[in-house]
Amino acid sequence: MRRLAWIQCWAYIQIGKAGSDDAKKNRMKESQQPVSGLGNKAIATRESLKQAAVRLINLHGFSSVRVEDITIEAGVAKGLFYRYFTSINDITHVVCEELFQSILQESLTRTYDSSVPAYDWLFDYVSIPVRKFVQNRGLLACMFELHGSFPEISKAWQTTAHEWNLHLEEFVHKAGGHNKREAKEFCYILGAAMEGIIYQSIIRNTPDLKKIASSAASITEIITKMWYRVIFLDSPAKRSPAAKKTA
């Protein structure tokens, strides 16, 4: 009987604790100001916090950054952080999603133009995510290395990558002469291979790969050549001087 009573008591404590934690989380969410209702000053403060988070995560890595570090970097009081974000995970999720969206939005402005050499167009398209990931190594590491503990970021990238690949399908179909099913399959397979190259060259710094891919331009080049050779079963010609100037 004593043992049963002790178990019941422990259960009540745990239930109460869980309820207290939930209530705390709910109060925190309620205290957050919705983005749509923010004034100019509040928008500027929220933006400063996001920019500070991006700088620190890219410089030190996600696991080394605390809320206090972000508020100090942003030059705002620590308590203000919780008006806009619930936690370090929350702000990291937000800035990663914004990075992914910026990649997609810029990529969607690139529609295939048959008057442009195929390799040049493909290089330009591939350069968008590579350039942004090189500039945001810490956020990129969150996507790859926190997959199990931070699935929200992985899910956000999967959605972006899916749209990025589908947008490239038109190029593979029209320029490469493949039917739409083949084009879509090529995009999914080569997109996955591209992610592997990005991870190995930017995050893991694999020595063998770093010898041939040490910058955004060189990483873009080897990825573009991979895509081109699979799509056209041929080696690409050198990029035109005009294309190099606009890169």
pLDDT digits (tens, 9 = 90+) for 51-107: 999 999 999 999 999 999 999 999 999 999 999 999 999 999 999 999 999 999 999
- Is residue 225 domain-resident? yes
| pTM beyond cutoff 0.85 | no
Closest CA to 45 of 70, 67, 76: 76
A 10 A CB-CB count for 133 gives: 23
Better-predicted residue by pLDDT, 76 or 149: 76
Q: What b/e string do you get for 203-218 counting C-beta neighbours within 10 Å, with b at 16 or more? A: beeeeebeeebeebee
Range 122-140 average pLDDT: 97
pLDDT of the residue at 245: 56
Q: Which structure tokens are listed for 169?
A: 């399908």
Between 238 and 85, the more confident residue is 85
> Is residue 12 in a domain?
no
The token duo for 61 is: 């890595």
CB 213 within 8 A of CB 219: yes
- The alpha helices in the chain, defined as continuous H runs, are 2-31, 40-60, 67-74, 78-84, 88-107, 118-135, 137-145, 151-176, 180-198, 207-210, 216-232, 241-246
Q: pLDDT band at residue 236, thresholds of 50, 70 and 90? A: very high
Q: What pLDDT, on a 0 to 100 scale, did the predictor assign at position 24?
A: 43
Indicate if 96 and 52 belong to the same structural domain. no
State the total domains in the chain: 2
**Mean per-residue pLDDT for 179-200?**
96
Same domain, 201 and 223: yes
Write down the pLDDT at residue 32: 58
pLDDT classification of 39: cutoffs 50, 70, 90 = confident
Residue 228 shares a structural domain with residue 113: yes
**Residue range of the domain that includes 181:** 89-246
Looking from the CA of 140 toward its CB, the CA atoms found within 13 Å total 21
Q: What angle do CA 224, 166, 138 make, to 5 degrees?
A: 65
Distant-in-sequence, close-in-space partners of 161: CB < 8 Å, separation ≥ 6: 191, 195
User: Does residue 219 sit in the same domain as residue 126?
Assistant: yes
Q: Tell me: do 115 and 223 sit in the same domain.
A: yes
The answer to whether residues 135 and 108 belong to one domain is: yes
| Residue keyed to tokens 């002790």 | 6
Give yes or no: residues 97 and 182 share one domain: yes
Mapping DSSP to helix (H, G, I), strand (E, B) and coil, where does residue 235 land? coil
* Type of residue numbered 54: V
Which pLDDT belongs to residue 7? 46
Report residue 148: phi and psi, to 5°: -75, -40
Q: What is the mean pLDDT of residues 2-22?
A: 47
Tokens 């589908």 correspond to 166
